[in-house]
Chains A and B, each alone.
Chain A
Amino acid sequence: MGRFIARRLVQAIPTLLGVLVITFLLTRLSPADPVTLAFGGDPTVTAEDKNGLREALGLNEPLYVQFWVWATRVARLDFGSSFFYHRPVLQLLFERVPNSLQLSLLALVLTVVIGVPLGALAAFNRGKAIDHAVRVFSVAGHAIPTFWFGLMFVLVLGVQLRWFPIGSMNAIGKDADVLDRAWHLVGPVFVLAISGIAGLPRILRTEMLEVIAQDYVRTARGKGLGERAVVARHVLRNALIPVVTLFGGILGIFFSGSLIVETVFNWPGLGRLTYEAALSKDYPMLQAAVLIASTLLILSYILRDIAYAWADPRVQFR
Chain B
Amino acid sequence: MAAGAIVLPVSEARRPSSGFLADAAYRIRRDPPTVAALAVFGVLVLLAVAADLLADHVFRWSFTKQSILDSYSKPSLAEPAFWLGTDQLGRSQIVRLLYAARVSLFIGVFGAVVSLVIGVLAGISAGYFRGWWDDVVVWVVTTLNSIPQLFLLIIVGALFTFPPPIFAIFLGLLGWLGIANLARGQTFALREREYVLAARTIGASPTRVMARHIFPNLAPLMIILAMTDIGNVILAESALSYLGFGIQPPVPSWGNMLTGASQFISRGPWLLYPPGTLIFVTVLCLYLIGDGLRDALDPRLRGQIEAKR
Residues of A within 8 A of B (CB): 14-16, 18-19, 22-23, 26-27, 30-32, 126, 139-140, 142-149, 151-152, 154-155, 159-160, 199, 202-203, 206, 209-210, 212-213, 252, 255-257, 259-260, 263-264, 274-275, 277-279, 281, 286, 289-290, 293-294, 297-298, 301
List of A residues within 8 angstroms of B160 by Cβ: 30-31
A18 in contact with B151 given A143-B280, A159-B266 (CB within 8 Å): no
A213 and B150 form a contact (CB under 8 A): no
CA distance A217 to B153 in the complex (A): 46
CA distance A274 to B155 in the complex (A): 9
Quote the shortest CB–CB distance from B75 to chain A (angstroms): 16
Quote the shortest CB–CB distance from A313 to chain B (angstroms): 23
Is B154 at the interface (CB under 8 A from chain A)?
A: yes
Task: Report whether over half of chain A's contact residues are helix, strand or loop; otherwise say mixed.
Answer: helix
Contact of B306 among A155, A159, A203 (CB under 8 A): A203
Find the B residue at minimum CB distance from A242. Answer: B307
A145 and B239 form a contact (CB under 8 A): yes
Contact of A32 among B159, B231, B243, B244 (CB under 8 A): B159
A139 and B139 form a contact (CB under 8 A): no
B159 and A290 form a contact (CB under 8 A): no
Contact of A155 among B1, B147, B157, B269 (CB under 8 A): B269
Contact of B143 among A15, A139, A210, A289 (CB under 8 A): A15
A278 in contact with B157 given A259-B150, A260-B150, A294-B147 (CB within 8 Å): yes
Task: Report whether over half of chain B's contact residues are helix, strand or loop; otherwise say mixed.
Answer: helix
Quote the shortest CB–CB distance from A70 to chain B (angstroms): 15
Listed by A's residue number, 7 A-B pairs whose Cβ atoms lie within 8 Å are A31-B160, A144-B280, A149-B276, A152-B272, A155-B265, A155-B269, A259-B150
Quote the shortest CB–CB distance from A185 to chain B (angstroms): 21
Find the B residue at minimum CB distance from A245. Answer: B307
List of B residues within 8 angstroms of A203 by Cβ: 306-307
A143 and B284 form a contact (CB under 8 A): yes
CA distance A188 to B150 in the complex (A): 17
A275 in contact with B243 given A139-B291, A256-B148 (CB within 8 Å): yes
List of B residues within 8 angstroms of A31 by Cβ: 159-160
CA distance A289 to B152 in the complex (A): 10
> Quick one: CB contact mask for B218-258 with A, threshold 8 Å, 1 for yes?
00000000000001000100110011110000000000001
List of A residues within 8 angstroms of B275 by Cβ: 148
List of A residues within 8 angstroms of B238 by Cβ: 145, 147-148
A18-B140, A203-B306, A260-B243 known; 19 new pairs, CB 8 Å cut-off, are A22-B152, A27-B159, A140-B284, A143-B283, A143-B287, A145-B238, A145-B276, A145-B283, A148-B238, A148-B258, A148-B272, A148-B279, A210-B3, A252-B149, A278-B155, A279-B158, A297-B146, A297-B148, A298-B146
CA distance A206 to B150 in the complex (A): 29
Quote the shortest CB–CB distance from A48 to chain B (angstroms): 26
Find the A residue at minimum CB distance from B150. Answer: A256
Quote the shortest CB–CB distance from B282 to chain A (angstroms): 8
Find the A residue at minimum CB distance from B282. Answer: A143
Interface residues on B, range: 35 or more
List of B residues within 8 angstroms of A142 by Cβ: 283, 287, 309
A199 in contact with B309 given A139-B284, A293-B151 (CB within 8 Å): yes
A-B contact count (CB 8 A): 158
Contact of A15 among B2, B146, B284 (CB under 8 A): B146
Quote the shortest CB–CB distance from B285 to chain A (angstroms): 8
CA distance A278 to B149 in the complex (A): 15
Contact of A212 among B3, B155, B158, B291 (CB under 8 A): B3
List of A residues within 8 angstroms of B140 by Cβ: 18
Is B288 at the interface (CB under 8 A from chain A)?
A: yes
Contact of B148 among A143, A152, A279, A293 (CB under 8 A): A293
List of A residues within 8 angstroms of B287 by Cβ: 139, 142-143
Quote the shortest CB–CB distance from A129 to chain B (angstroms): 15
CA distance A301 to B142 in the complex (A): 11
List of B residues within 8 angstroms of A209 by Cβ: 3-4
Is B16 at the interface (CB under 8 A from chain A)?
A: no
> Quick one: CB contact mask for B131-145 with A, threshold 8 Å, 1 for yes?
000000001101111
Is B163 at the interface (CB under 8 A from chain A)?
A: no
B150 and A15 form a contact (CB under 8 A): no
List of B residues within 8 angstroms of A160 by Cβ: 269
CA distance A202 to B291 in the complex (A): 13
Is B262 at the interface (CB under 8 A from chain A)?
A: yes
Find the A residue at minimum CB distance from B145. Answer: A252
B279 and A145 form a contact (CB under 8 A): yes
Is B46 at the interface (CB under 8 A from chain A)?
A: no
CA distance A288 to B283 in the complex (A): 33
List of B residues within 8 angstroms of A149 by Cβ: 276
B155 and A151 form a contact (CB under 8 A): no
Q: Within residues 259 to 307 of chain B, which ones have a CB less than 8 A from any CB in chain A?
A: 262, 265-266, 269, 272, 275-276, 279-280, 283-284, 286-288, 291, 303, 306-307
Is B211 at the interface (CB under 8 A from chain A)?
A: no
List of B residues within 8 angstroms of A263 by Cβ: 243
Q: Within residues 13 to 54 of chain B, which ones have a CB less than 8 A from any CB in chain A?
A: none
Quote the shortest CB–CB distance from A53 to chain B (angstroms): 19
Which of A22, A30, A252 counts the most chain B CB atoms within 10 A?
A: A22
CA distance A66 to B272 in the complex (A): 46
Contact of A210 among B4, B139, B306 (CB under 8 A): B4
